[in-house]
Amino acid sequence: MANNVSTFNDTTAGAASKVAAKVSDTAAQVKDQVDANRQTAAQGLEQAASTIRDKAQSLPGGETVSDLAHSAADKLTATAGYVREHDVNTMMADVETLVKNNPGPALVAAAVVGFLVGRAFSGND
């Protein structure tokens, strides 16, 4: 009986190490892919900011809406710079710090994102 338990433990440990290795490899591939696309993402953010700035004056709502549009464009430009200058590990550490320092708003944001993702994948339109 003890031999069967030992064999089971060895088999389980081997399977667990294979799963851990696969997860680690997949995580490394995802990290590499995200790092490879950072420049493209930053460029897209800057293009969006430029478009918002170009359209800000023609938006209905007057100066208040125009100011909000310019402010949003400035935030997009800052985000583009952040994405361009920081690798995935740094960004993940920053997100972790943000969540630890602001757990309530982080939970609300996670719920909103979850709701939006759920709506995007549901067939009920």
Higher pLDDT, 65 or 25: 65
User: pLDDT of 47-93, one tens digit each?
Assistant: 999 999 998 888 888 889 889 999 999 999 999 999 999 988 898 89
Higher pLDDT, 93 or 122: 93
Structural domain spans, the chain: 2-85, 87-125
Q: Burial letters for 58-90: b for 16+ Cβ neighbours within 10 Å, e otherwise?
A: eeeeeeeebeebeeebeebbebbeebeeeeeee
pTM of model > 0.85? no
